[in-house]
């Protein structure tokens, strides 16, 4: 499932406090509350496509809903992706500038361990002939 569906942040239309209240108090959010309560490991793939605004909102929702001061409420969070690929799409309507999460000065406090994979494993051929 996508991270947006998991956390119900949707398209960023709700400020953090309204989204948190909505998840905590709305009976329609039972599934989301259950997912947040029961998750042990959160894996976010294609992290380059997730804006900083969305990333921070997800982190805050998890922390507040589980009433924890630990980053991501102590949930083991694994992110992967290539920041040289697709960038987040800005959303001017909801004040999301489409910033990359790596632009956040405190990213190391949220994701303390970083591994950079530099060897290509999928493609082993030196020259690829593309035929159209």
Query: What confidence tens digit (pLDDT) does each residue in 15-65 have?
Result: 888 888 888 888 888 888 899 899 999 999 999 999 999 999 999 999 988
Distance CA 129, CA 113 (A): 38
Rg of the chain over Cα atoms, rounded to whole angstroms, equals 17
Q: What is the pLDDT of residue 5?
A: 86
> Both tokens of residue 117?
């994979």
Distance CA 16, CA 1 (A): 21
Which pTM value belongs to this model? 0.82
């Amino acid at each position: 499932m996508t991270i947006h569906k998991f956390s119900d942040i949707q398209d960023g239309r709700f400020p953090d406090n309204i989204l948190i209240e909505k998840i905590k108090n709305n009976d329609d959010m039972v599934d989301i509350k259950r997912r947040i309560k029961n998750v042990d490991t959160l894996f976010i793939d294609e992290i380059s496509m997730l804006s900083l605004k969305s990333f921070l909102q997800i982190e805050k929702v998890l922390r507040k809903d589980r009433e924890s001061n630990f980053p991501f409420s102590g949930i083991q969070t694994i992110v992967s992706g290539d920041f040289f690929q697709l960038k987040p799409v800005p959303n001017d309507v909801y004040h999301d500038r489409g910033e990359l999460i790596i632009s956040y000065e405190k990213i190391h406090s949220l994701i303390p361990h970083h591994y950079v994979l530099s060897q290509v494993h999928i493609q082993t051929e030196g020259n690829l002939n593309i035929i159209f």
